[in-house]
């Protein structure tokens, strides 16, 4: 068997050590017919080893270089540890050979180092796996890594819509450097939802830096996360990105991944204001890639160079419905315009409509995004407001909430309902999320729009709610209940704490709630509406 070394390891992508901006990425490998090297096993698992490890990592530039500290450490399974212990002398010999011309150690020194890692860390530098008795491509699905400093993290090993979405966000408003990934946005709430995504996918919380009020930045410090995104998208590590921006080839064969990717791009460089769908980019090639994506979805668009040397893609209104069916929006500020866009305008607003499904983009972590209900008010919080004020005066506390002292007094005495926007300000002061608060108070509060009768509303989608809505036909000013079963009608009344008017539900609050969080379609001509 030939001696395996880092210089000749066929698993590594680049033939010779190269600087980071010359490393082969997924786009280049696919274009050169090397797709099999990107995946292992059944062709769906990413080959993470050559993405995380590059020949350049092994170069010793000075005697004091700590070469092994450059690599991620892999937390070992019980079986892997037993193999290392059983074949420690053979592994030590292979380590000497693999790291030859990088680290000059004798076999027994390698064995001592291996024993130290197994005993003290239960983890070894990732290249050690290439020195096992059967050095096949490491199968790194759902594995836990740690940096030389002991920071734990993981890398996704499959292409998922959430990973594709983050690739789009990074191509839009992200930058990469050797160890750091930055994402900048005008919305702190959006930065926070992106932070949650990184925590889910990478087990890295990152940190948020806000030098100015309108420029919060998410900072992820991890060498291998940077390498993964650079590999998947082709975005360079350091240097200007716009010359290299393009749609990642990995996503072109999968409709959901492709849609998720461009949804991420639109959440950064796109806009939906005034019922206009526009993408603006400093990269001509990137903007043209978006045009080609739209054409593949049967969506026409216009392309032009603007006076500021950026490029604009504009989607005419006649194609909005098709666009809306293909894309998602998770940006908490832009989603408001996106939802208005999704509602569209029908030629005849009195046409009956029926339930299709819950709007995925209006749901966060399995709960309805009540921040979208700007016109909603909540009753039953008088005592909570009084306790929250504590020893503060009506004047000082009202000023914090942006309301008058007299109105605050009405709220505390239960004579008025508090708007969600005002409640959100209070919760921000108390460092509590709206969702967490509503979950705690759900049994005592009621919701209303303007002066309508307060009702009970669901905080999250459920099978019960879905069954109820499926029996509804939405008209301009009322909701018809198709079922005539008295027990079912009673169930609706109890569910929402509302009275039906015959077979109609006439409550603007419930209608506002359901039309915000449900996709509806016009009832086809000739279909019975349940009369």
Can you spell out the DSSP letters for 470-527?
Answer: TTEEE-SS-EEE----HHHHHHHHHHHT---BTTEE--HHHHHHHHHHEEEEEPPTT-
CB-based contact 490:481 (threshold 8 Å): no
Quick one: angle between helices 107-120 and 78-86, nearest 10? 150
User: Which residues lie closer than 8 Å to 211 by C-beta, 6 or more apart?
Assistant: 217
CB-based contact 230:25 (threshold 8 Å): yes
Alpha-carbon gap, residue 207 to 195, rounded angstroms: 8
| Predicted local distance difference test score (pLDDT) of residue 41 | 66
Residue matched to tokens 């043209």: 288
Query: Which helix (H) or strand (E) segment is 210 a member of?
Result: strand 207-210
In the numeric block, which tokens belong to residue 56?
Answer: 């350049």
Q: How many CA atoms lie within 13 A of 188 on its CB side?
A: 9
Quick one: angle between helices 161-173 and 188-202, nearest 10? 130
Using DSSP, state whether 180 is helix, strand or coil: strand
Q: How many CA atoms lie within 13 A of 447 on its CB side?
A: 24
Query: Which helix (H) or strand (E) segment is 146 a member of?
Result: strand 145-146
Start-to-end C-alpha separation, the chain: 80
Alpha-carbon gap, residue 165 to 330, rounded angstroms: 10
- Length of the chain, in residues: 531
Indicate the burial class of 484 (C-beta count within 10 angstroms; 0-12, 13-18, 19 or more). exposed
With CA atoms as reference, report the closest residue to 324 among 312, 332, 335, 311: 335
CB-based contact 80:124 (threshold 8 Å): no
In the numeric block, which tokens belong to residue 26?
Answer: 């997924």
| Predicted local distance difference test score (pLDDT) of residue 220 | 96
In the numeric block, which tokens belong to residue 235?
Answer: 């975005």
Alpha-carbon gap, residue 39 to 263, rounded angstroms: 25
With CA atoms as reference, report the closest residue to 124 among 106, 151, 105, 146: 146
With CA atoms as reference, report the closest residue to 415 among 386, 458, 437, 375: 386
Task: Say how many C-beta atoms besides its own lie within 10 A of residue 355's C-beta.
Answer: 18
| Predicted local distance difference test score (pLDDT) of residue 305 | 87
Alpha-carbon gap, residue 158 to 139, rounded angstroms: 12
User: b or e along 512-527 (b: 16 or more beta carbons within 10 Å of the residue's beta carbon)?
Assistant: bbbbbbbbbeebeeee
CB-based contact 188:216 (threshold 8 Å): yes
Residue matched to tokens 């390891």: 9
What is the full per-residue pLDDT of the chain (531 aa) written as tens digits? 578 999 999 999 999 999 998 999 999 999 999 999 999 866 678 999 999 999 999 999 888 889 999 999 999 999 999 999 999 999 999 999 999 999 999 999 999 999 999 999 999 999 999 999 886 667 788 899 999 888 999 999 999 999 999 999 999 999 999 899 999 998 889 999 999 999 999 999 899 987 665 678 999 999 999 999 999 999 999 878 888 899 999 999 899 999 999 999 999 999 998 788 999 998 999 999 999 999 999 999 999 988 777 899 999 988 898 898 899 999 998 998 888 775 545 444 457 899 999 998 889 889 999 988 877 889 999 999 999 999 999 888 888 887 788 888 988 998 888 988 788 888 888 888 888 899 999 889 999 987 778 999 999 999 999 999 999 999 877 899 999 899 999 999 999 999 988 889 989 899 989 999 999 988 765 444 443
Strand partners, 357: 519
Q: Under the phi-then-psi rule, with left for phi > 0, alpha for psi from -120 to 50, and beta for the rest, what region is 390?
A: left
Phi, psi for 233 (deg, rounded to 5): -105, -20
CB-based contact 334:267 (threshold 8 Å): yes
CB-based contact 522:363 (threshold 8 Å): no
Read out DSSP for 453-486? Answer: PPB---SS--HHHHHHHTTEEE-SS-EEE----H
| Predicted local distance difference test score (pLDDT) of residue 274 | 75
């Amino acid at each position: 068997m030939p001696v395996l070394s880092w210089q000749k390891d066929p698993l590594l992508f680049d033939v010779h050590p190269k600087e980071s901006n010359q490393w082969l990425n997924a786009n280049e490998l696919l274009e050169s017919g090397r797709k099999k090297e990107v995946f292992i096993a059944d062709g769906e698992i990413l080959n993470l080893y050559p993405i995380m490890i590059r020949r350049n990592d092994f170069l010793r530039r000075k005697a004091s270089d700590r070469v092994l500290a450059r690599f991620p450490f892999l937390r070992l399974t019980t079986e892997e540890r037993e193999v290392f212990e059983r074949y420690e002398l053979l592994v030590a010999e292979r380590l000497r050979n693999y790291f030859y011309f990088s680290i000059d150690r004798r076999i027994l020194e390698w064995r001592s180092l291996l024993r130290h890692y197994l005993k003290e860390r239960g983890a070894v530098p990732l290249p050690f796996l290439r020195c096992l008795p059967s050095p096949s491509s490491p199968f790194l699905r759902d594995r836990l890594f740690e940096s030389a400093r002991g920071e734990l993290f993981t890398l996704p090993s499959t292409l998922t819509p959430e990973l594709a979405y983050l690739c789009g966000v990074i191509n839009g408003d992200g930058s990469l450097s050797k160890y750091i990934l930055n994402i900048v946005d005008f919305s702190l709430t959006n930065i926070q939802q992106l932070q949650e995504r990184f925590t889910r996918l990478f087990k890295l919380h990152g940190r948020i830096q806000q030098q100015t009020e309108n420029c919060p930045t998410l900072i992820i410090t991890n060498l291998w996360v940077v390498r993964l995104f650079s590999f998947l998208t082709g975005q360079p590590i350091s240097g200007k990105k716009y010359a290299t921006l393009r749609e990642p080839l990995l996503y072109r064969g999968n409709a959901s991944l492709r849609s998720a990717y461009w949804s991420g791009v639109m959440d950064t460089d796109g806009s939906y204001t005034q019922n206009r769908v526009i993408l603006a980019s400093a990269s001509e090639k990137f903007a043209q890639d978006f045009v080609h994506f739209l054409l593949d979805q049967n969506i026409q668009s216009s392309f032009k160079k603007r006076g500021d040397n950026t490029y604009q893609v504009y989607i005419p209104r006649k194609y909005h419905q098709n666009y809306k069916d293909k894309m998602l929006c998770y940006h908490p500020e832009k989603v408001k315009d996106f939802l208005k866009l999704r509602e569209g305008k029908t030629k005849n607003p009195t046409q009956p409509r029926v339930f299709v499904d819950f709007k995925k983009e209006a749901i966060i972590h399995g709960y309805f995004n009540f921040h979208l209900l700007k016109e909603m008010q909540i009753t039953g919080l008088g005592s909570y407001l009084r306790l929250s004020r504590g020893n503060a005066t009506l004047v000082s506390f009202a000023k914090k909430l942006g309301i008058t002292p007299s109105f605050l007094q009405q709220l505390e005495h239960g004579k008025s309902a508090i708007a969600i926007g005002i409640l959100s300000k209070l919760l921000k002061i108390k460092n509590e999320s709206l969702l967490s608060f509503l979950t705690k108070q759900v049994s005592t509060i009621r919701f209303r729009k303007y002066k309508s009768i307060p009702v009970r509303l669901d905080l999250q989608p459920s099978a019960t709610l879905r069954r109820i809505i499926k029996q509804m036909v939405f008209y301009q000013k009322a909701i018809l209940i198709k079922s005539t079963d008295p027990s079912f009608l009673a169930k609706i009344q109890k569910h929402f704490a509302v009275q039906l008017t015959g077979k109609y539900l006439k409550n603007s609050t419930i209608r506002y709630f359901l039309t915000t969080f449900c996709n509806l379609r016009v009832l086809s001509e000739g279909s019975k509406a349940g009369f």
